[in-house]
A and B are shown apart, each in its own frame.
Chain A
Amino acid sequence: MITTVGYGVSESLLSLFDGLRQISRYSDDSLDAPRKHHDSDIDKVVQHICCRNYGFLCRELCFLSWAVQQACSDPLYNEPLYRFFWLDDITSPAAFRHAFAQPWKSGDCKVEMTDSVLHLESGNTVFDISPTRSGILAVMMEFIASINPEHVQHLKSLRNGNVSDIDALAKQLQKSLYDYLKDHLPEAQEHNRYRYVADWLNQQALTPEAVNDAAVMLFWQQANEDDSANKPSHVRFETAVDDVLDTLFALSVIKLQNAARFGASTGVTSSYNTDNSELDLGRIDVSGGNEPDDEFSPEFVQSALFDDVETEISLASLTEAPKCLTQAQAQLLKPLVVHKTHLARFTHTLLRLQVFGPWQAVLSQAKRKSAAAVAEKLSALPDGGYQAYLNQVGDSAEAIIQVRGCMHHVLLLPMPQTVLSELITQLPAPPETVKAWLIEHVVNTESSAMPAKLEQAALQWPALKACLDDNARRFKANNKAGFKTMPHENDCDPYYHALQQLNKLAALLASHTGNVAEFLGNDNADQIFASDVSIFSDRFQSMYGDVHV
């Protein structure tokens, strides 16, 4: 059943992406088997889908399917497409290169693996696919096959096809995805939310740059009191914060893009500083107006949103094997990850969201039970105030340190350079002689000789030894999924990806903790909290209190 509860993505589509994350490799049907697709590849496809920028991906997949059926064989089933994508699980560049090791040529058609790309020729058309695209294309194949398995049969029909068949099928796939997303990724509701915030900013004569914590609070209060028909709901403080911050994010991205375009078109970076003209660069009009007539491309949206942005942190994947975070920790960190670009500017808003958001959720639940339950929950203020929240974040940061230690232990032998380079920045600087020894003996050592070399390194550098011992102890004490036994060297990719995300998360938490500590100052925490309690209590009383029960 298609539902659009929440912000618009249907349960079916969410469940499809969940399914993608849970697929294990074909060769291993155990419950703890490594996942077939990397989260980074899945997230990349999610980006293409959410930005509706999947035209090229469809075409690339059609060309790959054609090439697989020409150049790859399947002696058992004579189904090269099934073998490539599902029986052999070709999702990595190395496996991709191996699968196309044998070149193929027939008439004016050719499939050949060069040093850098898979080179395809059919008639006058040339198409190249980089092996690094193998993961994304495998995810895309699974995605469209799971939406409708008939698509796979269509791709199989390319076995005897030519370029025009490939192009026709690419268009057909694109249309089919477009039709699917019309039902599962509806935009209207989101457009409505965006317009509501943009109109409000305009009414308040607020430029995006002038929006601050007080404005967010005012927006929530006024949006709550607004009883216009068809307005988006802003009952929850969290919803109001999400709407305002996401609107500001979208506006700031456009502004940056326009500034970059202006800079590129004039070829100057400093001349416009003299007359303040930069203030007008990319000025965003939030003043109502009609629907834009100009078409904007999905490529632009995707590039504006995701290009030059560091890898996203996927909290959902960090709660699965290897399990780095508990659900509660991930839930706590979610708003910080979603609004990571606003951590410093909206410290107070995020603090309010983190402390009073859960209180509102409890009240909302209690309202469904009874007036007494609401009264009881209204009198139970969030425990410990802002200081308690800071402690909670500190606990999560500590948990991340522990699990990073486990990751270092797991990856030490398979990826010694990665681990040592991280440890070197964490530990007190080693003596120069040790540094030189490490460069000479560890960096270029073969993996079989690595344990002995590391042992020697640890003997020369006691801090390293203590750290490695600590990490080994942490791993031994960690009984969560993915840490019960040492994974095989070939299964370490998920650990590496998780470590990268943990590092980003640790930096994000450190920044947030610093911002909050600075905002609260030495003695102000209780005073600020008491003032906010008063604001939220009054509001919640009027929203959930007796009169409404």
Chain B
Amino acid sequence: MFNNDRGQAQAIFTAKRHYDQVTQRLSENESATPTLMFNDLIRLASGKAGANKAELMKKVSASLLLRRQYLQLVRQLAYEYSPAQAAASTSEAMPGRESDKFAIAFSRDPVVTSQVYVILTVKFPTDSHCSEGVTLHIESDDCIYQVEFPPLIDGKTQNLFEDTDPALKALTDADASIVVMN
């Protein structure tokens, strides 16, 4: 009986110490870089990460495990997933991409030749595509890019990229997988 009391008191002591430590944590420095939460992954995947997008994407890109989990999530929330293309040779400098549900085409700006229009066509758009816009996730060379397009008009939307933009490079990469989000 007394030994049991001793064990119980010890367990209470331990639990209280742990509880105090977790709930009384005050130092600002210690909480400066909180763990990436599952909530962050969902926000990022659904295009709702707001001002934290770049920082979160950096964390995801830096970890193989997180990247895998993130891409799994992205595919689950996807409207269409287009895997890496077969390595067919093409004479086009920037070959487009087309599936049953979407198409991507490129058009260089005739005036500012360092800029390229990416034209996205969504064949069966959702309400969110027409009201909030379309988010694309591109995985290329172990990097993940997230590109946002304005809301669709007549099933189409476009975005302008600098020639040197790595996201544009990823979009034109036949080996990249592209996910169009719902």
Contacts and interface: CB of A to CB of B under 8 A. Distances in A.
Nearest to A284: B5
A371 B143 CA distance: 52
A137 B72 CA distance: 24
B160 interface: no
A93 to B, nearest CB: 21
B50 A330 contact: no
Interface in A123-158: 142, 145-146, 149-150, 152-153
B107 interface: no
A285 interface: yes
A18 B12 contact: no
A294 B4 contact: yes
A190 interface: yes
Contacts of A302: 15
B7 A194 contact: no
Nearest to B69: A149
B26 A250 contact: no
B17 A86 contact: no
B50 A30 contact: yes
Interface stretch (A19-27, A211-219, A357-365, A373-381): A19-27
A296 B8 contact: yes
A316 B37 contact: no
A94 B35 CA distance: 30
A254 B8 contact: yes
B33 interface: yes
Given A18-B31, A19-B37, 13 more contacts: A12-B35, A14-B21, A14-B22, A17-B22, A19-B34, A19-B35, A29-B51, A77-B76, A77-B77, A149-B73, A286-B6, A293-B3, A294-B7
Interface of B: 2-28, 30-31, 33-39, 41-43, 46, 48-52, 69, 72-73, 76-77, 126, 128, 182
The 5 closest A-B pairs by CB, nearest first: A29-B50, A292-B7, A285-B2, A145-B38, A19-B34
Interface of A: 6-9, 11-20, 22-23, 26, 29-31, 36, 43, 46-47, 50-52, 76-77, 79, 82, 86-87, 142, 145-146, 149-150, 152-153, 185, 187, 190-191, 193-195, 198, 242, 246-247, 249-251, 253-254, 258, 282-286, 289-294, 296, 300-302, 304-305, 312, 314-316, 319, 327, 330-331, 334, 337-338
28 contacts: A15-B30, A23-B37, A26-B48, A29-B49, A29-B51, A36-B39, A50-B16, A50-B22, A77-B182, A79-B76, A146-B37, A152-B38, A190-B14, A190-B17, A191-B10, A193-B13, A194-B9, A194-B14, A242-B17, A249-B13, A282-B5, A289-B3, A290-B3, A304-B8, A314-B24, A316-B26, A319-B26, A337-B24
